[in-house]
Structure 1
Amino acid sequence: MLGVGDKYVGVRALLPPVWRTLPWRVLGAAGGLGPVLAGAGRLMPRAGGTTHGLMVLRTGALALALGLAFLLDDPARHTTAVVPTRRVVRTGLRMALVAPLAALSWTAALLLVPGEMRPPVGAVTLEVATLIALALTGAMAAVRFTDEPRPGGAVTVSLLAGTVFALLLPGRWELFSEVDASDWAAAHQRWAALLTLTLPVGAALLPEPIRRYRARAWAHR
C-alpha cells in the first residue's frame, strides 16, 4: 500500500507530463479575451453604463468557460488510462494547474472595466463560476461515458447551445437579466441553484467507473 509520501512523489512526477498535455493555446486565448475586451472598453466613450460592462464581462465569462471545456482533452488519453494514478488525481491536477490562470483572467477583466460601468462583482462572478462548472462537468461526462480523447469541441457546442437556450427563456426563468431589471436578484438565485445542482454532478463524474477501476486493478496484479 502506498504511503502519503509515495503518493506525493507520484503526483509530483505527474506534473511535467500533465503540464505538457494541457491545451495552453486554447486556454490562453480564452483567458485573454475577457481582459482584452474590458481593456478595449476603456478606450471607447463611456456610453451604455453597466449594460455595456455587463455585456463585456459576460462575453469574457463565456469565452473562459468555453476554453476550460477543453481542459480534459488529452491526445494520449488511451495511454494514460492504464497508469496506476486514479483519474480523480489526474483531473484534479489539471484543474489545479489552470485555476490561477482562470482567476487571473477574471480578476483582470473585472478590474479593467471602468468602475461606473462595472456591474455587481459578486453576481457576475457567480455567473462565470456556474458557466465554468457546467463546462467542466460536461467535459467530465464526455470522458466518463465516451472514449473520445478530445471531447472539448462537443462540450463547447453543447455549452453554446445551452447559452442560446438560456437567452430565450421567459422572464420567470430568465438567467441573463439586466442590472437595473426588477428580477436581477431572482435571476441570480437561479444561477446559484444551477451551480448548486451542477457541482455534485461533476463530483460524481470525477472518479472512474467502479468496474473499469477493478479491471485495471486486476490487470496490474
Structure 2
Amino acid sequence: MREARRGVLAVQLIRPVARAVPWRALVAGGVPGLLAAALPRLAGDDVTPWAGVTALRAAALCGALGAAFLLDDPARRTTAAVPVRRALRHALRYALLVPLAAAWWTAALLLVPQEARPPAGDVTLEAATALALALAGASFAVRRRGSGRPGQAVAAALVVAAVLAPLLSPPHWALFTVPDDPRWADGHGHWTLLLCAALLAVAVCCAEPVRRRTLRTLRSPSGTSGPSRG
C-alpha cells in the first residue's frame, strides 16, 4: 500500500518538477556538445581517431557542464518544507534527464565519422562518468550547504578538473588515451571505478541530512554543568 502511494505521489510530482528543471542550462550545454562532436567532419578524409575521441570527450564535458545545473532551484528553501523526501525530488529530475541525455549522446556519436569514431561503449562510459561527477557535485552542494544554485560552482570545478586531470592523473591510470593505445582497456577499467564512486556519492547525497540537536551547557558557580534552557 505504501509503495502504491509513493508511485501515485511520484506521478503527481512529475509536472511541477519538470517545470522547475533549468532546461535552458541543459540546452546551453547540449548544443555546443553536438557542435564539438561534429567538428571532425570538417577535416574530410583526413580525420583521425585522435580527433574523433577528442571531439566526443569535449562533447561529454559540455553535456556535463549543462547537467551541473540540473538541481538548481531558487525556491529550494521553500520546497524543502514539503512532505516529500529529497531522494524522490532528485530522482524525478534524474529520470527526466537520463532519456534525453541518452538520445543526445547517441546523436553526438553519430555525428563523428565512422572511421574516426572510438568504441562506442568505452567512450560512453567516459561520458557517463562526466555526467555522474556533475550530478555528484551538485548533490553534494545541496546536501552540504542547501545551495539553491549549485550549478555555477560545480561547472567551474568541472572545467578546472578537465584541465588538470590529464596533467595530474597517475600515468598508469591511462584515462585519456586513444583507441589504438595498448592501455585503452586498462584505462576504462579505471573509468568504471570513477563512475561507481560518483554514483555512490549521488546516492549518499540524495539522502536527507541528519540534524543533531546540540545542547549548550551552563556552568554554575559551584562548578557543575547542565543543559541550557535558553
Please give the TM-score of this superposition, normalised by the length of structure 1.
Answer: 0.88
Q: Does structure 2 conserve the Cα–Cα contact (< 8 Å) formed by 1:166 and 1:174?
A: no
Correspondence for 2:179: 179
2:134 is matched by which residue type in structure 1? A
Give me the whole-angstrom Cα distance separating, in 1, the residues matched to 2:94 and 2:161. 23
Task: Say whether 1:189 aligns with 2:189.
Answer: yes
Give me the whole-angstrom Cα distance separating, in 2, the residues matched to 1:38 and 1:196. 26
Correspondence for 2:122: 123
Correspondence for 2:211: 211
Structure 1 pair 128/122, CA: closer, same or farther in 2 (3 Å)? same
Give me the whole-angstrom Cα distance separating, in 2, the residues matched to 1:43 and 1:173. 32
Shift of 1:81: 0.3
Task: Say whether 1:17 aligns with 2:16.
Answer: yes
Q: Does structure 1 conserve the Cα–Cα contact (< 8 Å) formed by 2:22 and 2:72?
A: yes
Please give the TM-score of this superposition, normalised by the length of structure 2.
Answer: 0.85
Give me the whole-angstrom Cα distance separating, in 2, the residues matched to 1:92 and 1:197. 18
Q: Deviations over 1:17-43 (max 9, x none)?
A: 211111101101212233233334334
Q: Does structure 1 conserve the Cα–Cα contact (< 8 Å) formed by 2:39 and 2:55?
A: no
Structure 1 vs Structure 2: percent identity of aligned residues? Answer: 49
Correspondence for 1:219: none
Q: Which moved more, 1:3-12 or 1:107-116?
A: 3-12
Alignment of 1:104-119 (within 5 A): 104-119=103-118
Gaps of 5+ in 1: 213-221
Shift of 1:170: 4.6
Gaps of 5+ in 2: 213-230
Correspondence for 1:202: 202
Shift of 1:184: 1.5
Q: Which moved more, 1:200-209 or 1:129-138?
A: 200-209
Asked which structure has the greater CA Rg, the reply is 2
Give me the whole-angstrom Cα distance separating, in 1, the residues matched to 2:42 and 2:158. 31
**3-state DSSP of counterpart to 1:46:** helix
Give me the whole-angstrom Cα distance separating, in 2, the residues matched to 1:27 and 1:116. 29
- Which structure has more relative contact order (CA 8 Å, sep 6+)? It is 1
**3-state DSSP of counterpart to 1:210:** coil
Q: Does structure 2 conserve the Cα–Cα contact (< 8 Å) formed by 1:34 and 1:106?
A: no
Give me the whole-angstrom Cα distance separating, in 1, the residues matched to 2:182 and 2:29. 32
Correspondence for 1:136: 135
Correspondence for 1:97: 96
**3-state DSSP of counterpart to 1:42:** helix
Aligned length: 211
Correspondence for 2:51: 52
1:194 is matched by which residue type in structure 2? L
Task: Say whether 1:162 aligns with 2:161.
Answer: yes
Q: Does structure 2 conserve the Cα–Cα contact (< 8 Å) formed by 1:31 and 1:101?
A: no
Give me the whole-angstrom Cα distance separating, in 1, the residues matched to 2:158 and 2:144. 18
Shift of 1:71: 0.7
**3-state DSSP of counterpart to 1:211:** coil
2:173 is matched by which residue type in structure 1? W
